[in-house]
Structure 1
C-alpha cells in the first residue's frame, strides 16, 4: 500500500476522532444549556436504561407465565392535615378585629326594636404585610453636678454613659447596618438597588455611603470575630474546602478582568460548633490553601484539583459527587445507544454507594466505619477493577476517558474516607456553603476593590456561620454591633468568645 494512502487513512481517522470529540462537546454544552440542572440521576432514567444494554437472550424465558392483571388503586391527593395553617403563622404576632353593626343600625327590621348582642363568630384568618419604616433617634445625655463640691471650690460633674455607635460621626445604627448586610449578603441585593429602597423609605442613602459603613464595621468589629472563628475552625479535625471565582477591581498589577477566588473552609455536618469561613485570595494556586492550613493535621474533603496536593500533614478525601458528575457528563445524547453503556454503568455503581450511605445516616462514627468497610469497600474495589478494564481503548480527551482518568489517577484519595467514620463521601457541604456567595455574585457581579472583597468574605463568614448554628443572621450582626463597640476586647481578647455564635447568651438573643 502506498505511503500516501496510509497517510490519508491516518488523517481520516484523526479527523473522525476530532468530529466525535466536537460532537460530544456540542451535546454536552447543549445539555448544560437546555437540560435539567438537577444532579439527581433518577431524572436521567439510567437505572431503567441499563437493561437495554443486555442481550435479549439472557433475559428471555419461554416458560414464563404472563402476568396477571392487577387492579391498581386510584391515586388520591392527600388532604392537608388539620392545623397546618396555624403552624405556619404560630410565631407571627396576631390581633383580633371585631366587626360590629353601627349603633344606629342595630334596629330590628321586623318590629323596629333595639337589638342586643348575643355572640360573635370566627370568619377567617389573614396575614397582613406592614412595610418597613425608619425612625430617627436623637441621643441626649444628662449631666449631673455635685453642689457640695461646687461650694467647696472643687466642682465635680458627671455625664450619663451613652452606647458607642458602630460607625463614628454617621447616621448608621446597628439595626441599619444589620439590615444592609441582610439585604446584600443573605438576599443578594446589591447596594445600587438598595439605594432606591432607602429612598422610598425617606432616606437618600448613596451606595458609596453604604459601602463605607460596611467597610468600617468590618474593620473595627466584625473582622475580630471572623478571625476568632478561623482559630476555632482550625482546631477541628475534619474540614470541607471549595473555591469559586470572583472578579475584583483595582487589584495591584492585575487587569480588572482577571479572576480572583473566594475560598470556603467548612466544618463537617455533625460538628457541634460549625464554622463557615470565607477567604478572598487573588488566585487559585496551591499556595493559598497551604498558607491557610499551615500546621493543620486532619482530614480535608475536596475535589481533585491539584492545588491541594501541596498541603502537608493532611489526609485528603475526594468527593464522589464530583466523580459521578464526571460520568454523567460523559453520557451521550442518546441514552438508548451502546455508547451510553459504560458511563451509565459507572453512574449506577456509584449510586449504590450513595444508597448505602443514606442507610448509614445516624450511626456513630465507629459503627459507620465498620459498616463502610463491610458493605462499601467491596463495591469500591469492584468499581475500580471494572474501570481499569473498560477504560482501555477510550478516545483520548473524550468525556468518558477524562472520567476514567479522574477515578484511576486518584484511587487512594477516594478510599481515604474509609479510615474514619466522621469523613464524608461528598464535598457537597462546601458547595452548598458557597452557593449564597455565587447567587449574590450574579447580582452584584464584582467587588470594587481587594479591601471590599476581603470585607465581603468576612461578613459572609459571620452570616453563614450564624445560620449554621441556628441563629437569625440579622439579629446576630445587630447584637455584635450593638454590644461590641466600646468594649475592651483589644486589651482582653478572650472577650471575643462572648460573640461566638454558640455562646449561650448569643443563642438566647439571636434565634
Structure 2
C-alpha cells in the first residue's frame, strides 16, 4: 500500500511539472505573439505615416511636443541630468516676404524711362516747357527671352596670289577652320551644355528633350543627344573631373554616401541587377566646395577604399559596414540617421503618451544636440570645437548612459534604434575632434538626392559608358552649383576651353576649377552671368 501511494504521488508530481512546463511554454508563446502584434502594429502606423503623414523628423512634427525639449534621467535616478542650458524649439514663424531685389538679385536690370515728350512737356496752365525734377521706380516685371536655336555655318575663304599666278605659280592659302567639338557633327559647346543642364539639373531625360528641340525647330533624336553627352563627358569634362578628385583628397573632411542605379547593358549582369553611384563631397566648413559622383557596378566597400586611398582625414558616413574598409582615416557617424530611427519609433498617438515613450526620450537627446549645433554655425572651427566640448559633452554622456540602460523588445523600432546607436557608438563622437566636422552626414544626403531625382525620370542607363558619363556631368554641375556659378555657362566654358587646349589640357585645368578667379569672372551668378 505504501508503494502504491508513493507511485501515485510521483505520478501526480510528474503531472504537475508537465502542466507547469506547458503553462510556461504557453506564457512564452503568448509573450512572443504579443510582441509580434506590437511590432506589426508599429509597422502599420509607420507605413501610414510614410504614405499619409509627414516624413520629416523635425521636432515640430513629433506628437506631444509642446515646444520644450526636456531632458531627464530615464533610469529613475532622483537627480536630473545636468545639461549646460535648456534649448527651446521655437514654434514655426512665417518668414518675411522676399523683396523683388532678393528674388532676382543676379538678373541684370534694364531701365525704361517714362518721359513726357512733345506738347505733353508744356505746362497745361501757362504753356511753359516743364523741367525734369526727379524720378522713381513705379513697377518692376520679369521678362524672358525663350531659348533660340541658330545654324552657324563656317564658310572658308581661299586666297590666291595674283603675281604668282601671272608667273605661272599657284599659291593658294585657305582661312583656318576652328576645331569642331565632335568630328562630323553639328554639336557645339553651347548645345551640348544645354543638353547636359536639362538632364542633370532639370531632370529631363533625352526623350523629353527631343520634344523640346522639335519646338525649337530642330529634329534632334535622343540617340544623337546621348552620343554627344557621353562623348563630350569623356573627352572634355573627365580631365576636370579627375582634377576635382585630386582637390577632394586634399581636404580635411569628406562626406560619403551611395545610391542604386540600373544599367541595361553591363557585362554579364542582367538588366534588372543593381549598380551604384557613389557620392563624395567636401565638408561644409572646407575652403573648396566639391561634389563628386562615381559609378561602380557594386556596393563593395573596396570601391570607397580605392577612391579615398590617398585621403587621411575625417570621413562622414552612415551606418553602412562597407565603409569599414577605409583605412588611415577617422570615421564620423551620423546623428541625423540616429535621430530618424528614434523619430520613427515614437508611438503615433496623440496626447502625452508619445512624450512619455522611451523613443521620445532618445529623440530628445538627439534633437538637443542639433539645437546646440544651430547656434555654432557661424563660429570659427577652433571655437566651434571648444563650444561642442563644453555644451554637447554633457548631453552625449547622458545619452549613452540612457542607451546602456535600455532593454527594448526585440524586433521593435526602438530596439532597432538602440542597436544602431550601440553599433555606431565608436564613430558617433568623433566629430568632436575637429571643428570642421559636422554632426551629421546630411551634406552627402542632400547631394546624392540630385542624382536620385534625375533617376526617377530617366530610370536607367543604357550602357556603362552612359553611367560613367552621367557621374562626370553630375560632378561638374553640382560642384558648379555649390560654388555659385551659372551651371550651363560653366559647362559651355569648360568644353570650349578644353577644345582650344586639346593638345595640352593639363595647362588649363587650374583655370577651370569652379573657384578660380577666371570662372568667377566669367560664370559667377553674382557677377550677372545669367
- TM-score, normalised relative to structure 1: 0.85
Cα 1:362–1:126 change in 2 (3 A) is closer
- Say if 2:260 and 2:276, in contact at 8 Å, map to a contact too: yes
1:171 is matched with 186
1:505 and 2:518 correspond: yes
Distance 2:298 2:259 in 1: 10
Cα 1:411–1:238 change in 2 (3 A) is same
Cα 1:52–1:499 change in 2 (3 A) is closer
- Say if 1:331 and 1:340, in contact at 8 Å, map to a contact too: no
Deviation larger for 87-96 or 179-188: 87-96
- 1:18-60: CA deviation from partner (whole Å, max 9, x where unpaired): 11111111111111111113231222255439789999xxxxx
Cα 1:51–1:302 change in 2 (3 A) is closer
1:255 and 2:270 correspond: yes
Distance 1:479 1:43 in 2: 45
Distance 1:449 1:276 in 2: 23
1:457 and 2:475 correspond: no
Distance 1:403 1:445 in 2: 32
Cα 1:80–1:15 change in 2 (3 A) is closer
Cα 1:151–1:301 change in 2 (3 A) is farther
2:460 is matched with 446
1:236 is matched with 251
2:57 is matched with 39
2:46 is matched with 28
Cα 1:196–1:483 change in 2 (3 A) is same
Deviation larger for 373-382 or 493-502: 493-502
Cα 1:26–1:310 change in 2 (3 A) is same
- 1:376-434: CA deviation from partner (whole Å, max 9, x where unpaired): 112111110111112x2x11121101111111222221111111111111110111111
Distance 2:53 2:195 in 1: 36
Cα 1:426–1:503 change in 2 (3 A) is same
2:391 is matched with 375
Q: What CA RMSD, in Å, does the superposition of the two structures yield over aligned residues?
A: 3.3
1:253-292 equivalence runs, <5 A: 253-292=268-307
1:409 is matched with 423
Query: Of 396, 403, 426, which aligns to 1:387?
Result: 403
- 1:64-90: CA deviation from partner (whole Å, max 9, x where unpaired): xxxxxxxxxxxx999869xx3355456
1:476 and 2:490 correspond: yes
Distance 1:351 1:51 in 2: 11
Distance 1:301 1:147 in 2: 73
Q: 2:357 aligns to what SS in structure 1?
A: helix
Distance 2:163 2:240 in 1: 46
How many residue pairs were aligned?
482
- Say if 1:46 and 1:344, in contact at 8 Å, map to a contact too: no
Cα 1:468–1:54 change in 2 (3 A) is closer
Cα 1:147–1:102 change in 2 (3 A) is same
> 1:368 Cα deviation (Å)?
1.8
> 1:492 Cα deviation (Å)?
5.7
> 1:206 Cα deviation (Å)?
0.7
2:219 is matched with 204
- TM-score, normalised relative to structure 2: 0.83
Cα 1:207–1:432 change in 2 (3 A) is same
- Say if 1:215 and 1:455, in contact at 8 Å, map to a contact too: yes
- Say if 1:53 and 1:338, in contact at 8 Å, map to a contact too: no
Query: Of 310, 327, 330, which aligns to 2:325?
Result: 310
Cα 1:451–1:488 change in 2 (3 A) is closer
1:195 is matched with 210
1:222 and 2:237 correspond: yes
2:435 is matched with 421
> 1:344 Cα deviation (Å)?
0.7
> 1:222 Cα deviation (Å)?
0.9
Query: Of 342, 351, 368, which aligns to 1:327?
Result: 342
> 1:182 Cα deviation (Å)?
1.2
1:495 is matched with 508
Deviation larger for 39-48 or 327-336: 39-48
- 1:329-371: CA deviation from partner (whole Å, max 9, x where unpaired): 1111115326852111111111111122122222222222222
- Say if 1:295 and 1:313, in contact at 8 Å, map to a contact too: no
- Say if 1:50 and 1:345, in contact at 8 Å, map to a contact too: no
Deviation larger for 273-282 or 330-339: 330-339
Cα 1:80–1:27 change in 2 (3 A) is closer
1:94 and 2:110 correspond: yes
1:61 is matched with none
Structure 2: runs of 5 or more not aligned: 1-15, 75-92, 121-126, 525-530
- Say if 2:70 and 2:364, in contact at 8 Å, map to a contact too: no
Distance 1:292 1:339 in 2: 44
Q: 2:511 aligns to what SS in structure 1?
A: helix
